Amino acid sequence: MTGRPSEYKVVLVVRGELRLTAGKAAVQVAHGAVMLYQLAERRHGAALEAWLRGGQKKIAVVAPTLADLEELQRQARARGIPTVFVEDAGLTEVPPGTRTVLGLGPAPEAEVDRVSGSLPLL
């Protein structure tokens, strides 16, 4: 391949207002990555293959509020990017069912970046 016209990426967007500890955030991000993997296996096989071939590139970023995550999900869906919401079991730090992370992808990097490219890294 010349250049990387179809590099695929997963983005995990952490809900900043929850102020999760590093360990809690890591676990929620991991949960989102596994959920996206499961979803892609069922419905986005070609994207999953492309993502795995590229070394399963992923990044973790932050958006302030749940409303921000919901808006990002709307934008991603409008572009056909797979999305998942991680809901915490609520054993620690936050109440049960709290939405902690929005997962996006795997999808072409240029597409995902149009949705989440301006967010700061976790």
Q: Is 19 in the site for a second copy (CB under 8 A)?
A: no
Question: Which residues 91-120 are close enough to bind a second copy by CB under 8 A?
Answer: none
What distance in Å separates the CA atoms of residue 13 and residue 98, rounded to the nearest whole number? 14
Q: Is 34 in the site for a second copy (CB under 8 A)?
A: yes
Q: Is 58 in the site for a second copy (CB under 8 A)?
A: yes
Q: Is 89 in the site for a second copy (CB under 8 A)?
A: yes
Q: Is 47 in the site for a second copy (CB under 8 A)?
A: no
Nearest alpha-carbon partner for 54 in 3, 14, 115: 3
